Amino acid sequence: MKNTEAFAESLARCGVKYHFAYPITPATDVMKRMAVILPNYGGEMMQMESELAVSSALAGAACTGKLVATSSSGPGLTLMHEAIGFMCAAELPCLMIDSMRVGPGDGDILGAQSDYYVATRGGAHGDYHTIVLAPSSGQEIADIVPQGIRLAYKYRTPVLFVIDGVSAQTTESTTLPDYYDYSAEFDTADWAFTGTQDHPKRALITGSYSHQDGFDMNEKLRAKYATIRENEQMWEQDQVEDAELVVAAFGIHGRMCRDLVFKMRAEGKKVGFIRPISLWPFPERAFTALPDSVKNILVVEMNHGQMIDDVRLSVNGRMPVHFLGKTGGDMPMNTLAEMIAEANRILGE
């Protein structure tokens, strides 16, 4: 099945009850599939009239403690940020999918990884973060959705899955999870807004608070984000122990790194790879732990260089960090041959 559909199936099978969305390529297949399957799980997909309405309805439903989700692409995510910032301030769990496409502006419907900045830095105001997970295959989507739900509820925060539009529309075989409502592992009784029959009045105020309340809220969030940074860095790596060159890439280019390393190692070249899976928190530890054998890092992205900033911050000047990237065109990404050529060029320097 298409990976967009793998998202929909995984969300529904893992306990998502309500999905709000507005059509946009290349994310639309998620909402279409949700519209068909969610009623079988006692839920519903509701198509809204704009992404502003989508994220606001998402926030309203998330207030009840139930598991809610949305799916969109770059221009839609831009509009959703008002309520994403709200949900971070209000500490509401939800799942979001950004099927990234070429931008800026309304961009093109071709796949890209151009939303790295907006995903990891946030598009709304104030000091906040969303957890950002970047699966690179249909199987990883199925495997990572339960983890995303647990993180969303454990930390009471929106979790954003980012996938480039090429991977999103790739068709591949995926083993889907059996039905299990992961959100039921978490008790929402002490915070959900369900009416005062079982608790005294609760008020969700994320603005117009007293100065001290605002400070306390921000400090609470700061401490939460520090805990997430400490405990939730996720990545895959291979062959870095004796590597001279490490290739760092996420999503589809990260997946291609396996072949790159296999081919170059077969030629006796000491190349390894790091594939970040959590983009926020960024897996800094993967880079700080690199052995002294590593003389260069090559970052490959489907954009003009966004994750490279986090790689540079992580290595903090220990070694040069190079970049290879492409976005748009008939082939909106670098080929494996181009990646290998650039790796060889750096090794030969």
Partner 1 sequence: MENLSSKYGKTLNLDKLTSYCPGCGHGTVTRLVAEAIENLGIMERTVSIVGIGCGGFSHHYMDIDAIEATHGRSPSFAIGYKLARPDNIVFTYAGDGDTCAIGLGDLLHAANKGMPITTIMVNNTVFGMTGGQMSPTTLEGQVTTTTVGGRQVPHQGYPLLVPEMMRAMPGVKYLARESVATPKAIRKAKKSIQKAFECQIKGLGYAFVEIIVPCPTGLKMKVKDSYARCGNEMTDYFQPQVFKDETEQNDVA
Chain residues that interact with partner 1, rule: CB under 8 A? 17-18, 20, 44, 46, 48-50, 52-54, 56-64, 66, 68, 82-83, 86, 193-197, 200-208
For the bound state, the minimum distance from the C-beta of residue 86 to partner 1, rounded and expressed in Å, comes to 5
Q: Indicate the residue type of 138.
A: G
Between 1 and 124, name the residue whose CB sits nearer to partner 1. 124
For the bound state, the minimum distance from the C-beta of residue 85 to partner 1, rounded and expressed in Å, comes to 8
For the bound state, the minimum distance from the C-beta of residue 92 to partner 1, rounded and expressed in Å, comes to 10
Measured CA to CA, the distance from residue 303 to residue 14 in angstroms comes to 32
Between 58 and 162, name the residue whose CB sits nearer to partner 1. 58
For the bound state, the minimum distance from the C-beta of residue 185 to partner 1, rounded and expressed in Å, comes to 19
Between 36 and 313, name the residue whose CB sits nearer to partner 1. 36
Between 82 and 342, name the residue whose CB sits nearer to partner 1. 82
| Residue 116, φ and ψ in degrees, nearest 5 | -60, -50
For the bound state, the minimum distance from the C-beta of residue 50 to partner 1, rounded and expressed in Å, comes to 7
Cα diameter, the chain? 71
For the bound state, the minimum distance from the C-beta of residue 154 to partner 1, rounded and expressed in Å, comes to 21
CA distances from 19 to 26, 85, 98, 151, 158 (A): 17, 19, 14, 18, 14
Measured CA to CA, the distance from residue 308 to residue 193 in angstroms comes to 41
Strand partners, 248: 274, 299
Between 54 and 300, name the residue whose CB sits nearer to partner 1. 54
| Residue 241, φ and ψ in degrees, nearest 5 | -60, -35
Which phi-psi region, left, alpha or beta, contains residue 208 (left: φ > 0; alpha: ψ -120 to 50)?
Answer: left
Measured CA to CA, the distance from residue 253 to residue 113 in angstroms comes to 10
Enumerate the H helices of 19-96 as residue ranges: 28-37, 51-62, 74-90
- Reduce the DSSP state of residue 278 to 3 states and report it: strand
Q: Indicate the residue type of 277.
A: I
CA-closest candidate to residue 256, choices 208, 295, 300: 300
* Under 8 Å between Cβ of 28 and 49: no
Q: Indicate the residue type of 250.
A: F
Between 40 and 208, name the residue whose CB sits nearer to partner 1. 208
Between 128 and 273, name the residue whose CB sits nearer to partner 1. 128
Between 40 and 197, name the residue whose CB sits nearer to partner 1. 197
For the bound state, the minimum distance from the C-beta of residue 60 to partner 1, rounded and expressed in Å, comes to 3
| Residue 179, φ and ψ in degrees, nearest 5 | -65, 130
For the bound state, the minimum distance from the C-beta of residue 22 to partner 1, rounded and expressed in Å, comes to 11
